Structure 1
Amino acid sequence: MLDYLVLYNSHSGNTKSVAAAIFSALPEGSRDLIDIDSGKPIPEASTYFIGFCVHRGSCCIEVSDLLSSLENKNIALFGTCGMGRSAEYYSLIEKNVSAWINSSCRYLGCYICQGKMPMQVRQKYENMRTSENAPQVDGFIRNFDCAMTHPDREDLKKAQEFALSCISHASCV
């Protein structure tokens, strides 16, 4: 059994970058990094770091199924989200995703950062802009433009700090 397993689901590469940063912060030795969609078997571990890209305020079914299947493990969540850096929205995402964690597990926390979105999203915003919704859509476009540089170095550094904090918390539990 591994000490640490970093599992992730990433469509744009954002969550994969955060997963790699978390993996690099973990102690050398008994650890692995696996893309959930790779088809590789998922080994057993004491502590799981499970990453997801946010879609409609939650995670994909593969991640929710995985979270529901784990028992008596330490679990930390991490994710990337195109929509703004809103603590309230990130808290809602954490609540929605952590609800899938089996009650026998120890929940260690969640780290979410902004991630870039495909250019089609910006084009969609531009196409839906009218004089009536211009202020709101312009806000979406500003957020999109800001997201283009994320996850950045600071986001990845915070992900590593989160991982170290989770390790510390898991050893105290």
Structure 2
Amino acid sequence: MLEYLVLYQSESGNTKKIAATIFSHLPGTSKDLIDIMTDKMIPEARIYFIGFCVHQGSCSMVVSDFLNDLSGKRIALFGTCGMGDSPEYYSTIEHSANAWIESDNEYLGAFICQGKMPQKIRQKYEAMRTAENTAKINMCLRNFDEALTHPDSLDIEHAKVFVEKILKKIKAKDF
């Protein structure tokens, strides 16, 4: 059994980038980094870092099914979403995703940051613009443009701090 497994689903590379950062900051060699969408066999681990790209405020069914199947594990979540700089929204995402974790697991916390979105999203916003919703659509377009640089170096640093925080939490509980 591995000590750490960093398991992720990434459509645009945002979550993969955060997953690689988390993996590289975990100690030792008893660890693996796996894209959940591959055919690779998923090994058992003591501690899981599970990442996802946010869709409609939560994780995908593939990730929720995996979370739901875990038992007696320590689990930390991480994710990327198009909306940025909204701790309230990030908290909503966290609660929506961690609802899939069974109560016999130990939930360790979550890290969520902004990620760039596909260009088709910007085109969708532009096509939706009407006289009545111009202000709202302009806000969505500003957010889209801001997201183009994410996850950025500050997001990466926050992911590193997240790993340190989780490791300290684990160490404190093990003593």
**TM more than 0.5:** yes
Partner of 1:73: 73
CA deviation after TM superposition for structure 1 residue 65, in Å: 0.6
1:9-36 superposed Cα distances (whole Å, 9 cap, x missing partner): 0011000000000001100311100000
Instruction: Output aligned runs, 1:64-103, within 5 Å.
Output: 64-103=64-103
- How is 1:1-173 mapped onto 2 (pairs within 5 angstroms)? 1-173=1-173
Query: 1:15 is aligned with what amino acid?
Result: T
The letter for the 2-side match of 1:14 is: N
Identity, % of aligned pairs? 58
Moved over 2 A (4+): none
1: CA distance, partners of 2:153 / 2:23: 15
In structure 1, C-alpha distance between the alignment counterparts of 2:128 and 2:92, rounded to whole Å: 26
2 CA distance for matches of 1:136 and 1:111?
Answer: 27
- The one-letter code matched in structure 2 to 1:62 is V
One-letter code aligned to 2:129: R
Structure 2 counterpart SS, 1:37: coil
User: Match for 2:95: what amino acid?
Assistant: K
**Structure 2: unaligned runs, 5 residues or longer:** none
Q: Distance in 2 between matches of 1:40 and 1:170?
A: 28
How many residues in Structure 1 have an aligned counterpart in Structure 2? Answer: 173
The DSSP-based 3-state class of the residue aligned with 1:78 is strand
For residue 172 of structure 1, report the CA deviation from its aligned partner.
2.1
**Alpha-carbon distance in structure 1 between the residues aligned to 2:28 and 2:38:** 23
Structure 1: 5+ residue runs without aligned partners?
none
Q: After superposition, give the CA deviation of every residue in 1:114-139 in whole Å (9 maximum; x if it has no partner).
A: 00000010011111111110000000
The one-letter amino acid paired with 1:95 is H
**Shift, 1:2, TM fit:** 0.7
Distance 1:16 1:148 in 2: 16
Distance 1:92 1:141 in 2: 22
Report the residue type matching 1:159 in the other structure. A
Whole-angstrom CA distance in 1 between matches of 2:46 and 2:167 = 11
